[in-house]
Structure formats: C-alpha cells, structure tokens
Chains A and B, each alone.
Chain A
Amino acid sequence: MPRSVPPTAPAAARPGSRTAPWLVLVAVLVCIGLQFGGDLTASALALLVWLLVLALVDRRALRKLWLPRFWLFSLLLALVSGFLLGGNLSKAHGLTLSRVGLDAGLLMIVRGAFLLSLAAHLSAKVKSARFQRLLARLGFSGFGAALATAFALLPELSHTLQVRAGVWQAEAPTWRGRLRHFPTLAVQLLVETAVLAEQCARMGSNPLYAAELLVFIEGPPQSGKTRCLLALVAALKAAGHSVGGIAQPAVHQSDERVGYRLLDVATGETTAFAERVNPSAPAAAGRRYQFEPAAFTRARDLLQRAVLEHPIVCVDELGRLEARGQGHLPGLQQALLQTQPRVLLATVRADAAPALMLLLGRPTVTLAPTADAAELGELLTLIAQVVTRLSAPKGDAHARVASEEWR
C-alpha cells in the first residue's frame, strides 16, 4: 500500500499547472535576452510580451505593479538623466535636455518595470507549495521544525512586545524617562526570548509533529473538502471507530452559500458559526462572513475534548487565517499540547498548505477532495491499522514496532 495518496484534483481546479511553467520559463528567457540588448525598442517589446504573459498566467503579479511611489521615482530618474547625462542638448520650455539622456532614462524605466514584474511573479513562486515541498524534500528537518516553532511563537512574541511597550510608556511618560528605562525593557525581552528558546529545546522543537497519522484533505475553496471529510467520518463511525473534533458544513439558501455551522463530529450537534454579511467583498479580504462571537472558543473546547476522548480527531477549514497563526490554530495547538491523537484528519486549503505543513508537520497522506472510492477505502484501511495496532497494550513490542513504521 502506498504511504501517500497523491492529490488528484481535476485539471480545472489548477489551471495550467503542468504546461504553463515551461511556457513561462521560455517567455522569461526570451524577454531577458531582448531586455539586455540595450536597445529601447527591443526592451519595450520584451516588457510588452512579458506583461501579456503575466496577464494570461499571473494577474496577481500584475496587480502588485501598482506602486505609485516607485513609478514617480522612476519618472523623476528619467527626467534627471535627461538633464545630467549625454550630449546633443536641446531646449524645451526653457530647460536644457539631452535626447540621449532621456532615452537612457526611458530604458531604465522599461528595464525596471520588467524586473519588478519578474520579481513579483517569482515572489509568489517562493511562497508556492512546490517550493516549500522542495525545501522539505531536501531534508531540512531541524530547520523546518524551527521555522514552524518560530511561526507559532510569532503571536506570543508580538503580544509580549505590546505588553512590554505598554508598561514602558506607562512607567515613563516622558521621552527622557523612556530612554532611561529602555535598557531594562530590552534586557527583559532578551531574557524572556532566551527562556522561551530553552523551553522549546526541552520540549523538542515542535511538539505538534507527534500525531501518528496526519491526513490532509487538500484542495481549493469549494472543492468538496468538508463533504469528503464528512464521508470519511461516516465511514469510520460505521466501522465502529470513535471519532471526535469539528467540521464546518456550509449552509445554503436557494443554491447560495449563506453561512457555516459548527458541527461536533462526535455527537452530531451543530451551532451557528459564521453568517455571510457582505457577499460582494473579496474572499481573500476575509470580510465576507461575520463569525459568531463564541464560535472559536466553542471550537477550541470541542477540540480539547476530542483529543482526550477519541483516537481519531478531525478539524475542518484550515486556511489562510490558520496559516497566520489565527482562527482554529491556537485552539488546535492547545489541544495537541495536552495529548496527541493517533489520527488527525484536517481539511486544508491548497494555498495555505505549505505554511500549515510547517506548523503541523508533513502529512502522512494527502488526499484530494475528489478522491475515488478505492483511494478512500485504502485510507480507511490505513487508519484502521494505525488505530488497532496502537490500541495494543503498552508492553506489546510488536505494536510499538508497528507504530514506529508509520513515522
């Protein structure tokens, strides 16, 4: 049986993911070749071609080019080069300008625009799942764990900084007083960070790696991740397994998604979780839904109970919010620090998967929401094996060896 089921999302969900990179690479090389010839017309042509390519494959990178200050500065540079560089001076509105200097300035702007758009495209690639997986495959295990820990520590350190800064300002209202108190504040911050590092070292760099079987159901929004999770849960319950945790089924009204409910997977009880308040807001801005005030607290309580009572725990809708250390993540981290479930099933948004992989560990199995019955059956058998083998008494050497095999 394969240890990992590769995602099999439909081609429509990942436009151009197989062919486009090679075409883009060819376009990049051709454009670079044209760009560095030093001819203004060839450079402008290369820029035009590259912008067209971006319009086809990466519109987000095009939007990143909206940088008024940068363009103003570039324009200023072109004008200044008209005054300062080259011969062939001519008078325009009483000012002495050089045609050669202006051409050089324009070439700088064209080249700047090309490289900036290239950088905007490459920046997204650095953040992409493929790049992050490549890092993981290169075997930076200690490094990966440290990065995950650093990410998990960010909210705590931000909070510590805010608290310390607040105390600093309250204790010393004048600038002179604040300057005098600054060394104490800085030393306290250094000591607290060092103590945190020592605690992390004692715990092991990342305590969240310990789930025996970590399953990511990974896919883009509205690709059926929750449906797939609930189908798995139903099959596991039917097979007599004890499953806990949370899911977030969508609420529809006349084929339109109007909100989410929070489902206690163990009991089947649901409560309100989020309601759509602003349908026109972009999904990425996170303002489309209004969350129930106590929703995340209830989700955290359910997760904490689930890890204590069930060997199989599921968590739904891990996305960008969780990748930034918010949403369900603090609750999940708290729960996992109490004890480790044997199997953790998580639905994960594809664009947040790399960051979540660093926070929770590499999944043993990655499943696409469109997985067929054979793949689901394979996963169910795997889960059953892990749960059954680990249910053996502690002294059972065979069970311990078997459990190590899954790591």
Chain B
Amino acid sequence: MPRAPASLHTKSFDRERFWAYAAAFGSLWGTLEVTLGAFLHTLRLPLTGAFLAAMGAALLVAMRQFYPARGSSLAVGVIAALLKSLSPGGVILGPMIGIISEAFLVELALVVAPRALLSAFVAGGLCVLWSVFQKVLTQTVLYGGTILDLYLAALKRVDQLLGSENAGAWLLVVCIGVLTLLGGSLTLVGRHLGRKAAVELRQQALPQGSTHA
C-alpha cells in the first residue's frame, strides 16, 4: 500500500487528518441529509427516518474501509449533527440527537473490527432499530407513558382482529426483523462501495491506514 512521505506521518498531521476526514464526511452526510432527506420527506414516504439512518450508517461504514481511525465515525456524526443545528429550521434537537446516537452506535459496532462484514451488518441494523426506537422514545417523552399503554392496547386489538393470541406482538417482531435486515443489507452495500473506493484511492497513491486515535 503506498504511504505518505515520512515527514507527513507526524502526530500533528494524523490529528489534522482525523479532523479533516471528520469535516469532509460530516459535510457529505449533512449535504445528503439536507438534499435526499428533504426530498424523501417531501414525498411523505413511510420509514424515511429509518432509510436515512441506514444511509448514514452505510456512509460511515464505507469511510471506515479506507480510513479506519477509531473515533472517526463519532466525530463525523457530531460534525453532521452540528451542521444540522446551524441550518435554519424549527425544532432541531431531535434530528441532532438522532444523528449523534447513530454515529455512536456505528462507532460501537465497529470498535473491534472496523472492516469486518458482521460489524458492518450490526452497525446498520442497530441504526435502523435506533431510528424506530427514537420515534417511540420521543413520543414517550412528549406524551408520557400513556402512549405505550395506547400501543399495547392497539396490539391487543390486532390480536382480536386476527383471532390469535400474541399475533400483534409477532407482527411487530417480524416488522422489526425486516427493518433490521434491510438496514444491515444497506450497510453491507456501503461496506462494499467503501472497499471499492479504497482500491481506487490506493491506485491514486493517497496516504492511508492511519489508525492513531
């Protein structure tokens, strides 16, 4: 693998590089959130949040294929969240918390083996699950525990409609499973693309492989 000139491999340059990657990929994530996110929200498609979460995870996993520095996913997430905070708009705390949490989950999933297939899948699955969980959590904070009673009552009504005990719960489990699978798969695509990008970057002889953090 081609390396940068020795003079560039200083601790200070590694730090510059770490923050430069955080800035560039944080900016890319912010741009995607603004452009693609706005487009999907305008279309009023269901599960837009889950899709954006999976896309964010895929981007982070892709980046870690050619820049595996520990902590970089979290740094990218914090930058992207703060870019969101500086953008004009209404209530921004929710999306900010969402982006930082997703980045934290990806960082957690990639901590042991940042380039492994399983790590990537887990990262995507966790992010999509979080996006669903955050929605329920936000509603619980906003409306109180009554909303959970309401969801449980709705599940019981589904049981009655389908005429089978626990049918509602099983339906929920299947939905969550499908979502996790889709999130994981999208992140695997991200990993694949990241590896292809790593090959191209190696051909362009860019310095790589810094794992200082």
Contact = CB atoms under 8 A, between A and B. Distances in A.
Interface of A: 64, 67, 74, 77, 80-81, 84-85, 104-105, 107-109, 111-112, 115-116, 119-120, 122-123, 126-127, 142-143, 145-147, 149-151, 153-154, 157-158, 161, 183, 186-187, 189-191, 193-198, 200-202, 204-205, 323-324, 355
27 contacts: A64-B91, A81-B146, A84-B150, A104-B146, A108-B146, A108-B147, A116-B142, A126-B92, A126-B96, A146-B19, A147-B82, A150-B26, A150-B80, A151-B86, A153-B27, A158-B34, A161-B31, A183-B193, A190-B193, A191-B197, A191-B201, A195-B204, A197-B20, A197-B24, A200-B16, A324-B88, A355-B86
A111 B31 contact: no
B35 A161 contact: yes
Given A147-B82, A191-B204, 5 more contacts: A126-B92, A145-B19, A149-B19, A194-B63, A205-B19
B171 interface: no
B94 to A, nearest CB: 8
Contact of A200 (B24, B34, B153): B24
B212 interface: no
Contacts of B94: 119
B41 to A, nearest CB: 11
Contacts of A200: 16, 20, 23-24
B61 to A, nearest CB: 11
Interface of B: 8, 13, 15-28, 30-32, 34-35, 62-63, 66-67, 75, 78-80, 82-83, 85-86, 88, 90-94, 96, 141-144, 146-147, 149-150, 153-154, 157, 192-194, 196-197, 200-201, 204, 206-207
Contacts, number: 175
Given A154-B27, A190-B194, A205 B63 contact: no
B185 to A, nearest CB: 14
B26 A187 contact: no
A82 B193 CA distance: 50
B51 to A, nearest CB: 15
A325 to B, nearest CB: 10
B31 A158 contact: yes
A42 B22 CA distance: 47
A25 B67 CA distance: 44
Given A81-B146, A153-B27, A123 B91 contact: yes
Contact of A187 (B20, B92, B197): B197
A154 B80 CA distance: 11
